[in-house]
Amino acid sequence: MFSFHPDKFDFWPVYDCIKRFYPLGIPRGSLYKDYAGFKEAVALWESEIVNADRCEARWAPFVNEVTLGLGKPVFGRTYGQAPCYSIAVELERKVLENITRIRELQCFVSILGPFYTVIGIDRNEIQTGERHPVRSTNYMVVSPQHEYEDSFRKLCDIVEDRFKGYRFVPYRICTTAIEGLRVWYMDEDEPGNRIFHALFTYQIDFNIQTLGAETYGADAWIKEGYVQKGSWVANPPL
């Protein structure tokens, strides 16, 4: 359920964006597709992702900045009809016999509004002789810490410098489900009702254990002029 401390924070822009593009409470079908916001979202996706020239012009400079700024390999992770551009920055790769352990940062930038988020992934790939390796995720890192800290912060700085006005959406907000939300790009039998699904993509498994502060980034959403109750306020002299 969508909830936050309204006296301190203002996450309404997130909800308003979702309400604009998704017909809350309406099942996917002909009526869903007739919703003006749905048509607008599809047009944005076609313009920002499908249009090769536009996509290259907007996102290639960003990828170059990340590659140079972090000094690490960057891979595109934008798939399907999800309303975001996403990349993975490989921080470390260790190979031991048939097991490869990978530490990476995944970055998601929404095309629906000024929102982005970053999640660290610690995962394995096991070669079994089959065509594709067996993949598993050990844990996710949702705030700057340990071996992810420096790169996590640098990546956030690059995003906010490149995309003016974009704000980090905290993991706890990303995982929040909104009643009546169904995203168009996921199968009917999948819930697709979280804020992360609406703004970004389906690529994160929220059942994976997390490390770090799930509220990281919330400071960017504090209301202007908010004063913590019980705190001292220094007024300028008259």
Decide if pLDDT at 235 tops 80.
no
Tokens 């790009």 found at: 185
The pLDDT assigned to 131 comes to 85
pTM for the whole structure: 0.91
Residue type present at position 142: V
Decide if pLDDT at 232 tops 80.
no
Tokens 């960057």 found at: 74
Q: Work out the pLDDT band at 181, boundaries 50, 70, 90.
A: very high
Decide if pLDDT at 233 tops 60.
no
Residue 63, φ and ψ in degrees, nearest 5? -60, -40
Q: Which percentage of the chain shows pLDDT scores above 70?
A: 95
pLDDT tens track for 86-97: 999 999 999 999
Decide if pLDDT at 7 tops 60.
yes
Round to whole Å and give the CA distance between 173 and 4. 9
The pLDDT assigned to 230 comes to 52
The pLDDT assigned to 25 comes to 92
Helix (H) or strand (E) holding 86: strand 84-96
pLDDT tens track for 59-107: 999 999 999 999 999 999 898 899 999 999 999 999 999 999 999 999 9
Could you give the count of Cα atoms lying within 13 Å of 97 in the half-sphere of its Cβ?
Answer: 2
The pLDDT assigned to 29 comes to 80
Q: Work out the pLDDT band at 140, boundaries 50, 70, 90.
A: very high
The pLDDT assigned to 27 comes to 85
- Find the angle CA(118)-CA(119)-CA(124) to the nearest 5 degrees: 145
Rg (CA), the chain: 19
Q: Which percentage of the chain shows pLDDT scores above 90?
A: 78
- Mean pLDDT score, 197-213: 96
Sign of CA dihedral 158, 94, 216, 18: positive
